[in-house]
Protein backbone atom coordinates (compact mmCIF):
# COMPACT_ATOMS: atom_id res chain seq x y z
CA UNK A 1 0.00 0.00 0.00
CA UNK A 2 1.05 3.53 -0.63
CA UNK A 3 1.64 5.61 2.47
CA UNK A 4 0.78 8.80 0.64
CA UNK A 5 -2.81 8.01 -0.08
CA UNK A 6 -3.25 6.10 3.13
CA UNK A 7 -2.08 9.13 5.06
CA UNK A 8 -4.53 11.34 3.20
CA UNK A 9 -7.37 8.87 3.50
CA UNK A 10 -6.81 8.44 7.23
CA UNK A 11 -6.66 12.20 7.67
CA UNK A 12 -10.07 12.62 6.06
CA UNK A 13 -11.52 9.73 8.11
CA UNK A 14 -10.16 11.31 11.27
CA UNK A 15 -11.62 14.69 10.37
CA UNK A 16 -14.94 13.00 9.73
CA UNK A 17 -14.86 11.26 13.11
CA UNK A 18 -13.72 14.39 14.86
CA UNK A 19 -16.74 16.35 13.71
CA UNK A 20 -19.08 13.43 14.28
CA UNK A 21 -17.91 12.85 17.83
CA UNK A 22 -17.68 16.55 18.53
CA UNK A 23 -21.35 17.04 17.74
CA UNK A 24 -22.84 13.70 18.65
CA UNK A 25 -20.91 13.07 21.86
CA UNK A 26 -19.66 16.41 23.08
CA UNK A 27 -22.52 18.53 21.77
CA UNK A 28 -20.25 21.11 20.20
CA UNK A 29 -22.82 22.33 17.63
CA UNK A 30 -21.79 25.93 18.06
CA UNK A 31 -18.13 25.16 17.52
CA UNK A 32 -18.73 23.10 14.37
CA UNK A 33 -21.71 25.07 13.10
CA UNK A 34 -20.58 28.63 13.74
CA UNK A 35 -17.07 29.20 15.03
CA UNK A 36 -15.11 26.89 12.73
CA UNK A 37 -16.98 27.93 9.56
CA UNK A 38 -16.35 31.59 10.33
CA UNK A 39 -12.70 30.97 11.03
CA UNK A 40 -12.31 28.85 7.93
CA UNK A 41 -13.84 31.54 5.77
CA UNK A 42 -11.52 34.17 7.21
CA UNK A 43 -8.49 31.96 6.63
CA UNK A 44 -9.66 31.26 3.10
CA UNK A 45 -10.25 34.88 2.14
CA UNK A 46 -7.14 36.24 3.83
CA UNK A 47 -4.95 33.37 2.67
CA UNK A 48 -6.19 33.50 -0.91
CA UNK A 49 -5.73 37.24 -1.07
CA UNK A 50 -2.28 36.98 0.48
CA UNK A 51 -1.13 34.41 -2.05
CA UNK A 52 -2.52 36.32 -5.00
CA UNK A 53 -1.01 39.58 -3.80
CA UNK A 54 2.35 37.87 -3.34
CA UNK A 55 2.27 36.67 -6.93
CA UNK A 56 1.04 39.97 -8.24
CA UNK A 57 3.83 41.82 -6.46
CA UNK A 58 6.54 39.60 -7.89
CA UNK A 59 7.85 41.22 -11.06
CA UNK A 60 7.70 39.66 -14.51
CA UNK A 61 11.13 40.56 -15.82
CA UNK A 62 10.79 38.94 -19.23
CA UNK A 63 7.99 38.31 -21.64
CA UNK A 64 8.12 34.55 -22.05
CA UNK A 65 4.86 33.27 -23.54
CA UNK A 66 4.84 29.75 -24.91
CA UNK A 67 3.96 30.19 -28.55
CA UNK A 68 1.54 27.41 -29.41
CA UNK A 69 0.84 28.47 -32.97
CA UNK A 70 1.95 30.64 -35.88
CA UNK A 71 3.22 34.09 -34.91
CA UNK A 72 1.78 37.20 -36.50
CA UNK A 73 4.38 38.02 -39.10
CA UNK A 74 3.96 38.60 -42.81
CA UNK A 75 0.47 39.68 -43.82
CA UNK A 76 -0.10 36.67 -46.07
CA UNK A 77 0.75 34.14 -43.38
CA UNK A 78 -2.22 32.90 -41.37
CA UNK A 79 -1.79 33.98 -37.75
CA UNK A 80 -2.90 31.72 -34.86
CA UNK A 81 -4.60 34.39 -32.77
CA UNK A 82 -5.53 32.18 -29.83
CA UNK A 83 -2.41 30.04 -29.53
CA UNK A 84 -0.01 32.87 -30.28
CA UNK A 85 -1.91 36.00 -29.27
CA UNK A 86 -0.64 39.31 -30.59
CA UNK A 87 -3.01 41.68 -28.79
CA UNK A 88 -4.40 41.89 -25.26
CA UNK A 89 -7.83 40.90 -26.55
CA UNK A 90 -6.34 37.77 -28.07
CA UNK A 91 -4.63 37.01 -24.75
CA UNK A 92 -8.03 37.24 -23.10
CA UNK A 93 -9.19 34.72 -25.69
CA UNK A 94 -6.28 32.41 -24.94
CA UNK A 95 -6.83 32.69 -21.19
CA UNK A 96 -10.56 32.08 -21.57
CA UNK A 97 -9.83 28.94 -23.57
CA UNK A 98 -7.40 27.86 -20.89
CA UNK A 99 -9.55 28.65 -17.85
CA UNK A 100 -12.97 27.74 -19.19
CA UNK A 101 -12.15 24.92 -21.59
CA UNK A 102 -8.78 23.61 -20.38
CA UNK A 103 -7.26 24.15 -23.81
CA UNK A 104 -3.79 22.82 -22.98
CA UNK A 105 -5.12 19.68 -21.36
CA UNK A 106 -7.18 19.14 -24.49
CA UNK A 107 -3.94 18.94 -26.47
CA UNK A 108 -2.84 15.89 -24.52
CA UNK A 109 -1.01 13.31 -26.62
CA UNK A 110 -0.19 10.10 -24.90
CA UNK A 111 3.03 8.37 -25.86
CA UNK A 112 3.21 4.69 -26.64
CA UNK A 113 5.97 2.50 -27.99
CA UNK A 114 4.55 0.26 -30.70
CA UNK A 115 7.26 -2.09 -31.89
CA UNK A 116 9.97 0.12 -33.32
CA UNK A 117 7.59 3.04 -33.81
CA UNK A 118 6.76 5.73 -31.30
CA UNK A 119 3.15 6.87 -31.40
CA UNK A 120 1.52 9.91 -29.81
CA UNK A 121 -2.21 9.64 -29.62
CA UNK A 122 -4.91 12.04 -28.58
CA UNK A 123 -6.01 11.25 -25.04
CA UNK A 124 -8.99 13.09 -23.66
CA UNK A 125 -9.92 11.22 -20.50
CA UNK A 126 -7.91 13.46 -18.22
CA UNK A 127 -9.40 16.49 -19.93
CA UNK A 128 -12.90 15.05 -19.66
CA UNK A 129 -12.44 14.06 -16.02
CA UNK A 130 -11.12 17.50 -15.20
CA UNK A 131 -13.91 19.30 -17.05
CA UNK A 132 -16.63 17.17 -15.44
CA UNK A 133 -15.13 17.56 -11.99
CA UNK A 134 -14.58 21.33 -12.14
CA UNK A 135 -17.89 22.23 -13.76
CA UNK A 136 -19.84 19.91 -11.48
CA UNK A 137 -18.13 21.49 -8.51
CA UNK A 138 -19.00 24.94 -9.83
CA UNK A 139 -22.67 24.03 -10.34
CA UNK A 140 -22.90 22.43 -6.90
CA UNK A 141 -21.34 25.53 -5.35
CA UNK A 142 -23.74 27.86 -7.12
CA UNK A 143 -26.69 25.71 -6.12
CA UNK A 144 -25.61 26.03 -2.51
CA UNK A 145 -26.13 29.78 -2.74
CA UNK A 146 -29.79 28.95 -2.08
CA UNK A 147 -28.75 28.52 1.55
CA UNK A 148 -27.17 31.93 1.76
CA UNK A 149 -29.72 34.23 0.13
CA UNK A 150 -33.37 34.98 0.68
CA UNK A 151 -35.11 35.17 -1.70
CA UNK A 152 -33.16 32.59 -3.68
CA UNK A 153 -31.59 34.37 -6.68
CA UNK A 154 -33.14 33.63 -10.07
CA UNK A 155 -29.94 32.13 -11.50
CA UNK A 156 -29.80 29.62 -8.68
CA UNK A 157 -33.34 28.40 -9.24
CA UNK A 158 -32.72 28.47 -12.99
CA UNK A 159 -29.62 26.37 -12.59
CA UNK A 160 -31.45 23.94 -10.33
CA UNK A 161 -34.09 23.43 -13.03
CA UNK A 162 -31.47 22.63 -15.63
CA UNK A 163 -29.52 20.48 -13.22
CA UNK A 164 -32.58 18.38 -12.41
CA UNK A 165 -34.18 18.19 -15.84
CA UNK A 166 -34.09 14.41 -15.80
CA UNK A 167 -36.81 14.53 -13.12
CA UNK A 168 -35.67 11.33 -11.55
CA UNK A 169 -36.35 10.26 -7.97
CA UNK A 170 -37.63 12.13 -4.96
CA UNK A 171 -36.12 14.43 -3.95
CA UNK A 172 -35.30 14.98 -7.58
CA UNK A 173 -31.76 14.04 -8.55
CA UNK A 174 -29.26 16.77 -9.39
CA UNK A 175 -26.93 15.61 -12.12
CA UNK A 176 -24.15 17.86 -10.84
CA UNK A 177 -23.92 15.91 -7.60
CA UNK A 178 -23.54 12.64 -9.46
CA UNK A 179 -21.06 14.23 -11.88
CA UNK A 180 -19.00 15.64 -9.04
CA UNK A 181 -18.86 12.26 -7.39
CA UNK A 182 -17.94 10.57 -10.67
CA UNK A 183 -15.33 13.20 -11.48
CA UNK A 184 -13.62 13.07 -8.13
CA UNK A 185 -13.69 9.26 -8.13
CA UNK A 186 -12.16 9.18 -11.60
CA UNK A 187 -9.39 11.56 -10.61
CA UNK A 188 -8.67 9.63 -7.42
CA UNK A 189 -8.69 6.24 -9.13
CA UNK A 190 -6.49 7.58 -11.90
CA UNK A 191 -4.03 8.83 -9.33
CA UNK A 192 -3.94 5.50 -7.57
CA UNK A 193 -3.89 3.17 -10.56
CA UNK A 194 -2.11 4.97 -13.41
CA UNK A 195 1.56 4.19 -12.82
CA UNK A 196 3.15 7.53 -13.59
CA UNK A 197 0.54 9.58 -11.90
CA UNK A 198 0.83 7.51 -8.76
CA UNK A 199 4.60 7.81 -8.89
CA UNK A 200 4.59 11.60 -9.02
CA UNK A 201 1.74 12.05 -6.53
CA UNK A 202 2.20 13.46 -3.07
CA UNK A 203 -0.03 13.06 -0.04
CA UNK A 204 -1.18 16.60 -0.76
CA UNK A 205 -2.52 15.41 -4.11
CA UNK A 206 -4.71 12.76 -2.54
CA UNK A 207 -5.91 14.72 0.43
CA UNK A 208 -8.11 17.24 -1.41
CA UNK A 209 -9.58 14.47 -3.55
CA UNK A 210 -10.58 12.39 -0.54
CA UNK A 211 -11.81 15.47 1.25
CA UNK A 212 -14.01 16.53 -1.65
CA UNK A 213 -15.18 12.96 -2.01
CA UNK A 214 -16.25 12.98 1.64
CA UNK A 215 -17.97 16.34 1.19
CA UNK A 216 -19.88 15.05 -1.83
CA UNK A 217 -20.85 11.82 -0.12
CA UNK A 218 -22.11 13.52 3.05
CA UNK A 219 -24.05 16.00 0.92
CA UNK A 220 -25.69 13.29 -1.11
CA UNK A 221 -26.43 11.26 2.02
CA UNK A 222 -28.25 14.21 3.56
CA UNK A 223 -30.27 15.07 0.51
CA UNK A 224 -31.35 11.65 -0.61
CA UNK A 225 -31.07 9.33 2.38
CA UNK A 226 -31.15 10.93 5.81
CA UNK A 227 -33.34 13.71 4.31
CA UNK A 228 -32.02 16.60 6.34
CA UNK A 229 -34.56 19.26 7.25
CA UNK A 230 -33.65 21.94 4.72
CA UNK A 231 -35.59 24.91 6.25
CA UNK A 232 -33.79 24.37 9.56
CA UNK A 233 -30.43 24.19 7.83
CA UNK A 234 -31.27 27.40 6.03
CA UNK A 235 -32.08 29.02 9.35
CA UNK A 236 -28.52 28.24 10.44
CA UNK A 237 -26.84 29.33 7.20
CA UNK A 238 -28.89 32.56 6.99
CA UNK A 239 -27.84 33.25 10.58
CA UNK A 240 -24.24 32.92 9.49
CA UNK A 241 -24.49 35.31 6.54
CA UNK A 242 -26.48 37.90 8.45
CA UNK A 243 -23.99 37.73 11.33
CA UNK A 244 -26.72 36.64 13.75
CA UNK A 245 -25.49 33.10 14.18
CA UNK A 246 -27.72 30.65 15.98
CA UNK A 247 -27.91 26.89 15.96
CA UNK A 248 -31.51 25.71 15.67
CA UNK A 249 -32.61 22.38 17.10
CA UNK A 250 -33.11 19.31 14.95
CA UNK A 251 -30.27 19.36 12.43
CA UNK A 252 -28.67 15.94 12.08
CA UNK A 253 -25.02 15.35 12.96
CA UNK A 254 -24.18 14.57 9.34
CA UNK A 255 -24.83 18.18 8.43
CA UNK A 256 -22.19 19.35 10.91
CA UNK A 257 -19.74 16.85 9.50
CA UNK A 258 -20.45 18.14 5.99
CA UNK A 259 -20.02 21.74 7.08
CA UNK A 260 -16.83 20.90 8.95
CA UNK A 261 -15.27 19.18 5.96
CA UNK A 262 -16.15 22.18 3.77
CA UNK A 263 -14.53 24.40 6.39
CA UNK A 264 -11.39 22.28 6.30
CA UNK A 265 -11.33 22.55 2.52
CA UNK A 266 -11.64 26.33 2.70
CA UNK A 267 -8.94 26.72 5.32
CA UNK A 268 -6.63 24.29 3.54
CA UNK A 269 -7.11 25.91 0.15
CA UNK A 270 -4.69 28.86 0.31
CA UNK A 271 -1.82 26.71 1.55
CA UNK A 272 -2.11 24.04 -1.06
CA UNK A 273 -1.93 23.27 -4.74
CA UNK A 274 -5.61 24.18 -4.93
CA UNK A 275 -4.28 27.69 -5.44
CA UNK A 276 -3.88 26.70 -9.07
CA UNK A 277 -7.32 28.29 -9.29
CA UNK A 278 -5.73 31.70 -8.76
CA UNK A 279 -2.33 30.85 -10.14
CA UNK A 280 -3.49 29.96 -13.63
CA UNK A 281 -4.21 33.65 -14.19
CA UNK A 282 -0.63 34.54 -13.29
CA UNK A 283 1.24 32.16 -15.55
CA UNK A 284 3.61 34.26 -17.69
CA UNK A 285 3.73 31.63 -20.42
CA UNK A 286 0.01 32.03 -20.99
CA UNK A 287 -1.10 35.50 -20.01
CA UNK A 288 1.28 37.57 -22.11
CA UNK A 289 1.13 38.76 -25.70
CA UNK A 290 3.49 37.09 -28.12
CA UNK A 291 4.32 40.36 -29.88
CA UNK A 292 7.67 40.36 -28.14
CA UNK A 293 9.60 41.91 -31.00
CA UNK A 294 6.93 44.47 -31.81
CA UNK A 295 6.50 45.90 -28.35
CA UNK A 296 9.27 46.33 -25.81
CA UNK A 297 8.76 44.74 -22.42
CA UNK A 298 10.39 46.47 -19.46
CA UNK A 299 12.17 44.61 -16.69
CA UNK A 300 11.76 46.64 -13.50
CA UNK A 301 15.04 45.38 -12.07
CA UNK A 302 17.13 45.47 -15.20
CA UNK A 303 20.66 46.36 -14.13
CA UNK A 304 23.85 47.16 -16.03
CA UNK A 305 26.23 44.26 -16.52
CA UNK A 306 29.92 44.13 -17.39
CA UNK A 307 30.38 43.71 -21.13
CA UNK A 308 33.33 43.30 -23.42
CA UNK A 309 33.13 46.47 -25.51
CA UNK A 310 34.12 46.83 -29.11
CA UNK A 311 37.01 49.08 -28.06
CA UNK A 312 38.37 46.37 -25.75
CA UNK A 313 37.92 43.83 -28.50
CA UNK A 314 39.77 45.95 -31.00
CA UNK A 315 42.54 46.51 -28.48
CA UNK A 316 42.86 42.75 -28.15
CA UNK A 317 43.05 42.07 -31.87
CA UNK A 318 44.01 45.32 -33.63
CA UNK A 319 47.20 44.10 -35.26
CA UNK A 320 45.58 40.99 -36.63
CA UNK A 321 42.65 43.00 -37.89
CA UNK A 322 44.82 45.50 -39.71
CA UNK A 323 46.88 42.72 -41.20
CA UNK A 324 43.75 40.96 -42.46
CA UNK A 325 42.46 44.18 -43.99
CA UNK A 326 39.57 44.53 -41.57
CA UNK A 327 38.49 48.11 -40.81
CA UNK A 328 39.51 49.42 -37.38
CA UNK A 329 38.60 52.49 -35.35
CA UNK A 330 42.14 53.25 -34.18
CA UNK A 331 45.09 52.60 -36.43
CA UNK A 332 47.48 51.77 -33.60
Window 271 to 290, contacts with another protein (CB under 8 A): 271-273, 275-276, 279-280, 282-286, 290
Output 167 or 309, the one with its CB closest to another protein.
309
Residues 95 to 154 in contact with another protein, rule: CB under 8 A: 98, 102, 104-105, 107-111, 113, 116-118, 120-121, 126, 130
Q: Which is nearer to another protein, 296 or 331 (CB)?
A: 296
Among 25, 154, 324, 332, binds another protein (CB under 8 A): 324
Contacts of 331 (CB under 8 A, 6+ apart): 322
Q: Backbone phi, then psi, for 118, in 5-degree steps?
A: -105, 130
Q: Per CB under 8 A, does 317 bind another protein?
A: yes
Between 165 and 313, name the residue whose CB sits nearer to another protein: 313
**For residues 236 and 36, what is the distance between their CA atoms, to the nearest angstrom?**
14
- The distance of closest approach from Cβ of residue 88 to another protein in the complex, given in angstroms and rounded to an integer, is 16
Query: Site residues for another protein, window 159-218 (CB under 8 A)?
Result: 194-205
Least distance to another protein from the beta carbon of 40, Å? 17
Supply the minimum distance, in Å, between the C-beta of residue 332 and another protein: 16
Specify the residue, 170 or 307, whose C-beta has the smaller distance to another protein: 307
Specify the residue, 253 or 272, whose C-beta has the smaller distance to another protein. 272
Binding residue (CB under 8 A) for another protein from 249, 307, 330, 331: 307
Sign of CA dihedral 110, 204, 202, 193: negative
Q: Which is nearer to another protein, 204 or 232 (CB)?
A: 204
- CA 249, CA 132: separation in Å to the nearest integer? 37
Residues numbered 16 to 75 that lie near another protein (CB under 8 A) are: 51, 54-55, 58-74
Number of residues that bind another protein (CB under 8 A): 99
| Closer Cβ to another protein, 121 or 161, answer by number | 121
- Nearest approach, Cβ of residue 78 and another protein (Å): 7
How many angstroms separate the CA atoms of 26 and 42, rounded? Answer: 25
Look at residues 242, 191, 182 and name the one whose alpha carbon lies nearest to residue 212.
182
Amino acid sequence: MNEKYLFSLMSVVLLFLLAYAGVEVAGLQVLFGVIIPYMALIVFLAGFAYRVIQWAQTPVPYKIPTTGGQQKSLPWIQHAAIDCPDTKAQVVGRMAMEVLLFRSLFRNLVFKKEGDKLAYRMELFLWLGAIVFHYAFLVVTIRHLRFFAEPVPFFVTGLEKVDSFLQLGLPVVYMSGIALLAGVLYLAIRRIYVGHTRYISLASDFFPLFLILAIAVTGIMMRYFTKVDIPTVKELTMGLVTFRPAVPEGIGTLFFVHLFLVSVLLAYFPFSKLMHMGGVFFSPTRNMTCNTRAERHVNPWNYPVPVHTYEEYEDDFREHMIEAGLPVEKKE
